[in-house]
A = this chain, B = another copy of it.
Amino acid sequence: MSDPRHIASRENPGFKTLRALSDDPRRQGRALLDGIHLVTTCFARGIAVEQLLVSESGKKNAEVDELLRGAANVECVILRDSLFREISGVSTPTGIAAVIGIPPAPTGGLSGDAVFLDAVQDAGNVGAILRSAAAAGVRDVVLGPGCAGAWTQRVLRAGQGAHFSLAIREQADLAAALEASAATSIATVARGGTSLYELDLSGPVVWLVGNEGAGLAPDLIAAASVRTTIPLASGSESLNVAAATAVCLFEASRQRLKRPANPLRA
């Protein structure tokens, strides 16, 4: 670790930059990853870390200390606990965070499956959907206007490192991206669609997922190849959007799993 700078005042220009970064990562093109798990994932995936931020009490934590030893050539800034808390966004932070550059938006077309998010507003939902997408082997996630920012701390926290396995596009024109895609596009709707379990999901799919309250925009539903609905118990209106997306992605995953060969029946 290079000789660390210390920040002890809210008036420090470096702190003001970090605060601004914490509030609006896109503006600086950088993101702040808080907590041991995300920072470790960063290093494990070979992501270039611009800066490590450590709180005074975080520095005394054995796991944090080990992380710092392994990152000898990364610039390190030590913050007074109260200042670290201000940029961390959780009430009891472990005391380590990494600043990284937000990866440039991927160029070229989509490959394989994709998830399109239309105005999914809740950061926890966006993060959980990114996590499910990565876990289901989806590579491309495309966020339209009105979605929670993918590189904000709450989404990063809920994503648990999924960001680093995904190609994420933000503020995208979903209708245009849909038109450019050759995959079957499936609009998820709360009612009236074909049962999810009757769909053949063996080929590449673009999943269209809508806003928590209003659902998908009508033009996206109209542009989709298929509309699907998850059959629910009578009396139930709908699922949480992240739960519904997980059910859809893993139904595709289930259909594609190679059944183990059974030699007795071969």
Do residues A232 and B135 form an inter-chain contact, with CB atoms below 8 A?
A: yes
Do residues A242 and B128 form an inter-chain contact, with CB atoms below 8 A?
A: yes
Do residues B197 and A240 form an inter-chain contact, with CB atoms below 8 A?
A: no
Write the chain B residue with the least CB distance to A240. Answer: B128
CB within 8 A of A230: which of B127, B134, B250?
B250
Bound together, the chains give a CA A137 to CA B239 distance in angstroms of 12
For A, the interface residue count at a CB cutoff of 8 angstroms equals 37
Bound together, the chains give a CA A236 to CA B124 distance in angstroms of 19
The 5 closest A-B pairs by CB, nearest first: A137-B233, A243-B246, A135-B236, A128-B240, A135-B232
Write the chain B residue with the least CB distance to A245. Answer: B243
A57 within 8 A of B: no
Contacts of A136 in B (CB 8 A): 232-233
A68 within 8 A of B: no
Given contacts A131-B243, A160-B238, 20 further A-B contacts (CB under 8 A): A127-B240, A128-B240, A128-B242, A128-B243, A131-B239, A132-B239, A132-B243, A134-B235, A134-B236, A135-B233, A135-B238, A137-B233, A160-B237, A161-B237, A233-B253, A242-B242, A243-B245, A246-B246, A250-B251, A251-B254
